[in-house]
């Protein structure tokens, strides 16, 4: 559907390097990376707002690398929504209609249905400056969706919203994707949003793609230290093989993985939520340690627990209730461990 082939883009202080992406019809594709990794530049490049230095952009078997922005039939919803301040909500939504040869009745019909779907009935005559962040975003979505773009690009759609609109907007995006069967490319730095919304995606770092594919597989099988920590993996350490056993180099601790690491793997990682107390686990505890609770910090609903063994430290995430119910405190000695399946190597 959309293919990026050997895309390079050089800006004075930044460059995209040899980007290859395949985005399929109806994908909810996410470009994921930290701030400054080049994901928004890539999005603007696909849109045609910044020219690529080399490479090809293929959309439905047509090479659109040098096609003018307005002829691409793609649409973008910006992080700051970019509503036109001198036009009211209705005028904003209708803005692109004259350029897409849509019959008047069809446009009106789409307008009516979008207004209903997006809950804009009460604000159609308002000026954008009197709208909340969530409302602005829905207007921006309607403005793009009214002409049925081939692909809808979303630039960090959730990060500019207040937390109370965040959840609502997330569900709305999912609903739009499911109902309208539209291909979406979303730029995001929040992996939990991506897990909820996207089916496929790519991790980008310093202008290069680190890994791409199914979101679930990126989440479960990160192929690099960077991706691993980006998708929430902790307890990342360099490993080596000794007599067929996998050990953490730092202090010779033997870890039993479910799958034998490949020759190129240099690190392992364990999700903090995969570490549990022995007393409350039915898992086969092949990786079992005894240690002291050294530090507890809060990250909201969950707590980060730092477990100190004789010569090593693990980081776990446990719910508050877990600690309360089992009377766990700093200094308490516990037996904990994790399933071999939880050991990821890369």
Partner 1 sequence: MKRIEPLSWLFMFISMPLILLLTLPLIKMTFQPSVEMLIETIRDKDVVNAIARSISLSFFAGLLSFAMGTPLAYLLARKNIIGKRIIEGIIDLPIMIPHPVVGIAILSLAGRNHPIGRFLSDVGIQIMGTKTGIVCVLLFVGLPFYVNTVKAGFESVPIRLENASRTLGAGAFTTFMRITFPLTWRHMILGIIMCTARAISEFGAVVIVAYHPMTAPVMIYERFTAYGLKYSQPIAVWLIIISFILFVILRMLSRSINQ
Residue 61's Cα: distance from chain center in Å?
Answer: 27
**CA dihedral in degrees (269, 272, 276, 277; nearest 10)?**
110
Shortest distance (Å) from residue 162 CB to partner 1: 21
Q: Residue 34 CB, nearest distance to partner 1 (Å)?
A: 22
Query: With 0-12 CB in 10 A as exposed, 13-18 as middle and 19+ as buried, what is 203?
Result: buried
- Comparison of 14 and 99: residue with beta carbon closer to partner 1: 99
Chain positions contacting partner 1, by CB under 8 A? 44, 47, 49, 68-70, 73-76, 78, 80, 82, 84-86, 95-96, 98-100, 143-144, 147
Closer CB to partner 1, 183 or 342, in the complex: 183
Q: What would the two tokens of residue 168 be? A: 């609502």
Q: How far is the CB of 150 from partner 1 (least distance, A)?
A: 13
Looking at the Cβ atoms of 84 and 280, the one nearer to partner 1 is 84
Please report how close the Cβ of residue 307 comes to partner 1 at its closest, in angstroms.
48
Q: Which residues, in sequence order, are CB contacts of 209 under 8 Å at separation 6+?
A: 19, 20, 21, 202, 203
Please state the closest distance from residue 13 (CB atom) to partner 1, in A: 14
- Give min distance, CB of 140 to partner 1, in A: 8
Our CB check for partner 1 shows the closer of 152 and 255 to be 152
Q: Which is nearer to partner 1, 91 or 309 (CB)?
A: 91
- Nearest to partner 1 of 150, 323 (CB atom): 150
Q: How far, in Å, CA of 116 to CA of 245, rounded?
A: 61
Q: What are phi and psi of 216, to 5 degrees?
A: -60, -40
What's the closest the beta carbon of residue 64 comes to partner 1, in angstroms? 13
CB of 108 to partner 1, least distance (A): 17
Query: Which token pair is 302?
Result: 């969950």
User: Considering the complex, what minimum distance in angstroms separates the CB of residue 172 from partner 1?
Assistant: 20
Please say which residue, 41 or 343, places its beta carbon nearer to partner 1.
41
Nearer to partner 1 among residue 70 and residue 254 (C-beta):
70
Phi-psi region of 282 (alpha: psi -120 to 50; beta: other; left: phi over 0): alpha
CA distances from 123 to 60, 106, 294, 302 (A): 36, 21, 54, 39
Whichever of 69 and 249 has its CB closer to partner 1, that residue is 69
């Amino acid at each position: 559907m959309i293919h990026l082939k050997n895309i390079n883009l050089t800006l004075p202080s930044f460059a995209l390097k040899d980007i290859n992406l395949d985005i399929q019809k109806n994908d909810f594709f996410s470009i994921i990376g930290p701030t400054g990794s080049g994901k928004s530049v890539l999005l603007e490049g696909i849109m045609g707002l910044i020219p690529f230095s080399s490479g090809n952009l293929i959309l439905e078997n047509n090479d659109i690398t040098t096609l003018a922005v307005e002829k691409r039939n793609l649409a973008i919803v910006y992080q700051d929504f970019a509503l036109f301040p001198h036009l009211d909500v209705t005028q904003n939504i209708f803005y692109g209609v004259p350029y897409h040869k849509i019959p008047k009745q069809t446009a009106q019909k789409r307008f009516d249905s979008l207004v209903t779907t997006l809950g804009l009935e009460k604000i159609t005559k308002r000026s954008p400056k009197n709208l909340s962040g969530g409302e602005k975003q829905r207007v921006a979505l309607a403005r793009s969706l009214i002409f049925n773009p081939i692909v809808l690009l979303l630039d960090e759609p959730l990060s500019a919203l207040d937390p109370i609109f965040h959840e609502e907007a997330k569900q709305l995006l999912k609903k739009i994707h499911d109902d309208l069967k539209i291909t979406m490319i979303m730029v995001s730095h929040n992996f939990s949003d991506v897990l909820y919304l996207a089916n496929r995606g790519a991790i980008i770092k310093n202008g290069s793609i680190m890994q791409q594919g199914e979101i679930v597989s990126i989440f479960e099988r990160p192929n690099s230290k960077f991706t691993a920590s980006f998708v929430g993996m902790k307890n990342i350490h360099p490993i080596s093989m000794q007599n067929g056993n996998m050990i953490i180099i730092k202090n010779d601790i033997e870890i039993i993985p479910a799958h034998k690491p490949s020759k190129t793997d240099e690190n392992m990682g364990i999700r903090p939520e995969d570490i549990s107390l022995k007393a409350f686990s039915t898992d086969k505890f092949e990786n079992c340690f005894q240690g002291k609770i050294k530090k507890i910090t809060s990250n909201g609903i969950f707590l980060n627990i730092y477990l100190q063994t004789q010569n090593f430290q693990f980081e776990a995430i446990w719910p508050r209730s877990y600690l309360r119910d089992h009377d766990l405190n700093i200094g308490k000695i516990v037996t904990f461990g994790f399933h071999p399946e939880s050991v990821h190597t890369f």
